[in-house]
Amino acid sequence: MEVAFAELVRDPDASMDQIARAAGVVRRTVYGHFPSRDALIAALVDEAAETVADAHREGRDGITDPAEALARATLAVWEIADRYRLLVALAQRSVTMAGIKQRLAPVRKECVDLLQLGLCEGVFTSPLPPAALAYVHEQSLFGLMEAVNEGALPAAEAGRSAATTLLLSAGVPADRTAAIVAAALDRHQPTDDSR
């Protein structure tokens, strides 16, 4: 899986033969585990969705303020999503967006719960109901991934941009958003330059 991921990120059109050669196995071995290239990509997307769910949970663990929890979860997810952003673009060619959304349903449910809490506490002031706002946030993250992939947004700014965008769209005032994101970045201290 790691070799397949690396090969597909290096060359999004990599064939099963190329992946097998890179892994040091014959093509038949790869096909023994994955009946098609699409099945391999779907398995990589499943793994990515699980990793994103774990990061989202860990990012907000122990945080009671919904705005801070949203910022920290977004930064944690972005660090993982940044690794997978090219895979998401590739998966959109192989796995339907409906399939990707289905895989992210557990994370979306957690987002809805967090947004509901923030709306009830008056931390968020969005006119959208929590479920609709969760979809807006999800699509914002996909859009930011695409912006990075296309060179419209530097990868180094994407984590900060993602957290800021989600807080602002939830109705958190700009000055509070800036303070929350700055504090979350200080606490988060990513292992790479995913900010």
Of the candidate ranges 28-37, 79-88, 164-173, the one whose mean pLDDT is the lowest:
79-88
The H or E element containing residue 164 is helix 155-169
Are 24 and 63 in contact by the 8 Å Cβ rule? The answer is no
Residue with tokens 């994103």: 52
Question: Residue 81: is its pLDDT beyond 90?
Answer: no
Average pLDDT taken over every residue of the chain: 86
Question: Residue 195: is its pLDDT beyond 50?
Answer: no
Q: For position 193, what pLDDT does the model report? A: 46
- List helix spans (H) across the chain: 2-10, 16-23, 27-33, 37-60, 66-94, 97-103, 105-121, 130-149, 155-169, 174-188
- Neighbouring residues of 152: CB distance < 8 A, sequence distance ≥ 6: none
At 179-194, the pLDDT tens digits run: 999 999 987 664 444 4
At 130-178, the pLDDT tens digits run: 999 999 998 898 889 889 888 999 988 999 999 999 999 999 999 999 9
pTM over 0.85: no
